Each structure stands twice: as structure tokens, then as C-alpha cells.
Amino acid sequence: MPRVGLIVVGDEILSGKRQDKHLAKCIELLTARGMSLAWAEYVGDDRDRIAATLARAFASGDVVLSTGGIGATPDDHTRQAAAQALGVPLALHPQAKLLIQARMREVAQQKGEPYEPERPDNLHRLNMGVFPAGASLVPNAFNRIPGFSCAGARGGAVHCFPGFPVMAWPMMAWVLDSYYQRLQRRVVQVERSVIILGAAEGLLTPTMEAIESEHPAVKVFSLPSVDHPEWGAHIELGVKGEAAEVEAAYADLRQRLAAFALRYGPELSR
């Protein structure tokens, strides 16, 4: 089964001028479909660095969602970097050309101006439809200007969207529902955990390993904290997965913990 990754492109994220919202939304969209995010990367507006990041994504066999850098200004490099990573030329996608022209005609009508397709600025806008050769389009319901998808190795693909959330998020959802229904699981994922006060993770590691060995359908997690305002130094130890599997694994976990002299805080369910 391919994993799902996220790439967020933009100097504005790395400089702190804008706060990334894509990571949380991507997790939300995946969770609603019974999927999960395996990894995420942030990269600035450097064409070679973006190309290297995309080359790894294309070679991974993963399903990769990429936001940002697909415009037509000098600081937009994702389209060119994707072509560089794949070793293919850039080409104006014929259907993208028609969509962009339809958008320009629409904007001209809204402004009460004549549509002049040969005007230099309108010709420049067609660059937003210049994608790596062989790319397919991702529809953009907000303003018609499409994103694009390129196949990678081992069955994976990279899907590229604008950086604007109002455009990117519906496009992400469209890609997940159009191409990856087979990966979606409608089974509810849950978590059960307990707060353990003042314990060391090293003491609990053998128990965690035993739970994962005996219950391979769940994941065990340990979230330490050193300065919680209510519980102070503590560890949140728990399991996550499908409800039935989690209940059995959590019961086993609590039974094994009973062998230790531990102090507990509340139990948590999500």
C-alpha cells in the first residue's frame, strides 16, 4: 500500500510571514477517509531544492500532495522543478490553455472590458498551464486554473496544487476521491491512552514492544511531557487503530502495566 506524503513549497512559510495551514487540513481530509499522513516536507522557493525533493517523491512510490509554486511569477518553480525531476520537457497543456482562456474571458466580461487573447499579459498567463510533458490536470473549481499530476515510479504520483487554501483543499479532496478510493477505509480509527506520572520511557519500552508484537493491527504511542501545567512530568501511553483491536490491546496494556508501581492520571479516549 502506498504511503501519503505532503510537500509544502514557499519561502513565506519558512520565513514565518505566513503560517502553514495545509498540514492540518491534509491530515483532516485523510482522516475523514480512513487514511493517514506518513510524512511531510517544507521547502523554500529554490528550484534545484524543489526538484531534488520532487525527485525523491517520484521515486518513492508514494501518493504525494504538493502545494505552492505553480503560478507564473519568477518565484514560482514547482512546474519547472517537476519537469527537471522527471527529465521531461515542459509543454503547454491544451486543455489547460482552454481553461485559462475561459477564465481570462470571464474576468474581462466581469470588468466590462474586451477580451484580448494576444495581449502580452494574457499570453503570459498561459504559462500557468505549462506543465511537465505527460501531466494530467487537477480541476480547480475556484477559478478554473488547474493544477497537475505526474506519475512516479512504483505506482505512486505527485499532485501539485496552488498554495491558496481556498483552491488547494478542494483539489486535494478531488484527487483523493478520484484516484485513491481503493486506499480509503471507512472504519473509524480510535485511540485509548493513560497518563503515567513521573515514569521513564525506558521502563515502559519492553511493554510497548510486547503490545505491538501481540497486537500487530494497532500502533502503540508514547508522548512524554516535562512541564504540563496539571500533570507535570508525565507520559501519555496508549494505542490507536480500529475500535475492536484498540479495546483488546488497551486492556492488555493496562494488565501489563499493573506489574509496575506507577502513578496514574486520567485515561483518555479519542
Domain 189-269: assigned CATH number: 3.30.70.2860
Nearest-CA neighbor of 218 among 238, 202, 204, 236? Answer: 238
Nearest-CA neighbor of 231 among 261, 206, 198? Answer: 198
Any long-range contacts for 259-266 (C-beta under 8 Å, 24+ apart)? 260/199, 260/203, 262/196, 262/197, 262/199, 263/196, 263/197, 263/198, 263/199, 264/194, 264/195, 264/196, 264/197, 265/194, 265/195, 265/196, 265/197, 265/231, 265/234, 266/194, 266/195
Chain centroid, CA 160 distance in Å: 11
Count of other CB atoms within 10 angstroms of residue 57: 27
The predicted model scores a pTM of 0.81
| Sequence spans of domains, the chain | 4-183, 189-269
Average pLDDT over residues 2-18: 96
Least confident range of 83-92, 171-180, 197-206: 197-206
Q: CA-CA-CA-CA torsion for 15, 173, 128, 24, nearest 10 degrees?
A: 0
- Record the cell numbers describing residue 59, joined without a space: 521515486
Q: Residue 214 contacts by C-beta under 8 Å, 6 or more apart in sequence?
A: 249, 252
**pLDDT band at residue 155 using 50, 70 and 90 as cut-offs:** confident
Q: Residue 180 contacts by C-beta under 8 Å, 6 or more apart in sequence?
A: 35, 63
Query: Distance (Å, rounded) from C-alpha 72 to C-alpha 232?
Result: 51
Model confidence over 63-121: pLDDT tens digits? 999 999 999 999 999 999 999 999 999 999 999 999 999 999 999 999 999 999 999 99
Query: Distance (Å, rounded) from C-alpha 107 to C-alpha 144?
Result: 11
Model confidence over 29-77: pLDDT tens digits? 999 998 999 999 999 999 999 999 999 999 999 999 999 999 999 999 9
**pLDDT band at residue 153 using 50, 70 and 90 as cut-offs:** confident
What's the CATH superfamily of 4-183? Answer: MoaB/Mog-like domain (3.40.980.10)
